């Protein structure tokens, strides 16, 4: 049987270490450096011939560098005779650009998927993909794991009886439903509503939030604007003035930290799919994806089902 090899890209060295510990193996010896002009220089320092290679690398900011690195590592593996190469992508950037909006844009998510397959990845593993249709941009077997069970498990002990799951926009409605089923809570949805044919819109919440503690959930948080608006809407609608937030991918760019600091955040639950930026004052609790990713890798290596890791139930 082929050996299990885990290669850590430079995006998540600590998560990779943790996954390796769960798997009871050492990370493969790989040298990922740069030439003085900034070109990547990658060398795999041990034989991986015929091995079952997993490359763990989030396509997280700086997203283009992490993507290129992901591509070069596969090329090195393929040319070194690797048996099977799997991309384990805790966070997959560009997945939101899954359609053209204005008509003369790239569909970046498709291009990224094509490039990942071009270089030889034969399987993809990722977590809470923003646009599920991106799975169809790949033709190889693609497993979308979910951090919802992990995050919901972390939230549960802290929940008052009268909480309510909040989807901060229509796109988060299905994710909110998964949390609701796991936590036994109702759901409310915040959404922009057109009041007339003009550009007059209002943020509204549907569902009963009065006096309830809002648990705002989303797949990711970038500038924090969506979550801030949702929080202000539910608070204005009479929700309990303390918020729990749970997001899988805490990108937290721009003024995200400041925005969160301006809200009565009681807990912010995130995973380690991307590293947390410094300077955040909210009480963050990081739930590691390591056991989830390790389980997925172990089963893919042993050719066993991943169905229960997709978090559907």
Residue 285 C-beta: closest distance to a copy of itself, Å: 22
Q: Which residue lies nearer to a copy of itself by CB, 106 or 283? A: 106
Alpha-helical runs (H) found in 156-311: 173-183, 225-236, 256-261, 290-302
Stretch that binds a copy of itself, among 18-26, 236-244, 259-267, 305-313 (CB under 8 A): 305-313
What is the dihedral sign for C-alpha 92, 93, 94, 95? positive
Stretch that binds a copy of itself, among 11-19, 257-265, 284-292, 297-305 (CB under 8 A): 297-305
Binding status of residue 75 toward a copy of itself by CB under 8 A: yes
Q: Which residue lies nearer to a copy of itself by CB, 33 or 241? A: 33
Binding status of residue 103 toward a copy of itself by CB under 8 A: yes
Out of 13, 14, 21, 64, which residue is the one contacting a copy of itself (CB under 8 A)? 64
Stretch that binds a copy of itself, among 13-21, 129-137, 153-161, 289-297 (CB under 8 A): 129-137
Concerning whether 192 is annotated as a catalytic residue, the answer is: yes
CB distance 60 to 93 below 8 Å: yes
Binding status of residue 236 toward a copy of itself by CB under 8 A: no
Beta pairing partners, 49 = 82
Residue 214: helix, strand or coil by DSSP? strand
Give the Cα separation of 3 and 52 in Å (integer). Answer: 6
- Window 6 to 45, contacts with a copy of itself (CB under 8 A): 35-45
Binding status of residue 281 toward a copy of itself by CB under 8 A: no
- Window 188 to 207, contacts with a copy of itself (CB under 8 A): 188-189, 191, 193-198, 204, 206-207
**Tally of CA atoms within 13 A in the half-sphere of 166 that contains its CB:** 33
**DSSP helix, strand, coil percent of the chain (3-state; round to 5):** 35, 30, 40
Residue 163 C-beta: closest distance to a copy of itself, Å: 10
**Which residues, at least 6 apart from 162, have a Cβ–Cβ distance to it below 8 Å?**
211, 212, 213, 240
User: Could you list the active site residues?
Assistant: 192
């Amino acid at each position: 049987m082929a050996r299990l090899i885990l290669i850590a890209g430079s995006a998540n060295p600590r998560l990779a270490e943790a996954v390796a510990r769960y798997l009871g193996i050492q990370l493969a010896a790989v040298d990922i450096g740069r030439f003085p002009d900034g070109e990547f220089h990658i060398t795999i320092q041990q034989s991986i011939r015929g091995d079952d290679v997993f490359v763990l690398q989030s396509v997280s900011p700086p997203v283009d560098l992490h993507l290129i690195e992901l591509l070069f590592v596969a090329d090195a593996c393929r040319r070194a005779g690797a048996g099977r190469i799997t991309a384990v992508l805790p966070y997959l950037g560009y997945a939101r650009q899954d359609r053209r909006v204005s008509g003369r844009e790239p569909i970046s998510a498709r291009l990224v998927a094509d490039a990942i397959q071009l270089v030889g990845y034969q399987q993809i593993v990722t977590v809470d993909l923003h646009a599920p249709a991106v799975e169809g941009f790949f033709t190889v077997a693609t497993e979308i794991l979910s951090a919802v069970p992990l995050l919901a498990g972390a939230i549960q002990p802290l929940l008052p009886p009268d909480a309510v799951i909040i989807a901060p926009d229509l796109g988060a409605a299905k994710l909110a439903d998964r949390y609701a089923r796991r936590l036994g809570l109702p759901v409310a949805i915040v959404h922009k509503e057109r009041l007339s044919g003009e550009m007059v819109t209002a943020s509204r919440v549907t569902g009963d939030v009065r006096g309830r503690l809002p648990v705002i959930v989303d797949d990711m948080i970038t500038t924090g604007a969506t979550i801030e608006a949702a929080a202000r809407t539910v608070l204005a609608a009479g929700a309990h003035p303390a918020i729990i937030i749970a997001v899988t991918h805490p990108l937290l760019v721009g003024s995200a930290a400041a925005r969160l600091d301006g809200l009565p955040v009681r807990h912010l639950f995130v995973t380690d799919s991307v590293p947390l930026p410094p300077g955040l004052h909210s009480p963050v609790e990081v739930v590691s994806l390591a056991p989830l990713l390790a389980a997925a890798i172990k089963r893919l290596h042993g050719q066993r089902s991943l169905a229960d890791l997709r978090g559907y139930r």
